[in-house]
Amino acid sequence: MDQDDVWDAETAQHYDTPGTGMFAPDVLGPTVDRLTVLADGGRALELAIGTGRVAVPLAERGVPVVGIELSRPMLEQLRTKVDEATVPVVVGDMATAVAPGAFSLVYVVYNAISNLLTQEEQVACFRNAARHLVPGGRFVVELWVPELRKLPPGTEATVWALEPGYIGLDTYDLLHQRVVSHHFSFDESREARLGRSPHRYIWPAELDLMAQLAGLTLESRHADWSGAEFTAGSRSHVSVYRSPSTR
């Protein structure tokens, strides 16, 4: 499954869900609040900026935001909200593309780093983030924790969301550390819409090692953007890495 096929025009048109899901105020608000603090008055770079779910409200808070985005359809949706002068975007892969200038904050949210499907690409993403940071700058990663404990022997899938009109299902390839997320959306009719996206899952310990390879150190890890304690039962985490104060 190629990333161009995943993040195509149809996906981009249906990606935004204003006021609900990942766009709900209780989800998006704490995200923007925390990133505003972590930017510490400096510039921010969002990897895989998408349709600007986070970047647009962050820019409205007065944080200068630049983005990197591989999908042109997603970028076209972003441009219906803000122009290039407000949120400049470099078209390219978040593991290799270079944005001009240096940043006090680089961030990648909502599991987007797992869209890179090899360990090598994910390590390259960390190194790319590090090279964009000013001394003492921060790299923030929001990522889910693989739910392998829910997989009995011989079972290859978990249901991670069951809501009115929506079912989320993950199928695991344990040998290659891969997941395909299946998103089923439906209404009162007999029709349902299926979206799928491939991922490479990363354990928090592996993520920390990637940071070390990029010259970054873990500053904090919480279960959510509001600062809840990260525990063995947490389903996701927000990890903040720091670059050295001197180079």
Q: Which tokens belong to 71?
A: 């999908």
List CB contacts of 140: < 8 A, sequence separation 6 or more.
35, 38, 105, 106, 107, 108, 109, 238, 239, 240, 241
pTM of the full predicted structure?
A: 0.90
The 10s digit of each residue's pLDDT in 67-103 is 999 999 999 999 999 999 999 999 999 999 999 999 9
The 10s digit of each residue's pLDDT in 118-159 is 999 999 999 999 999 999 999 999 999 988 888 878 888 888
Is a pLDDT exceeding 70 seen at residue 2? no
* 243, 130 contact by CB (below 8 A): yes
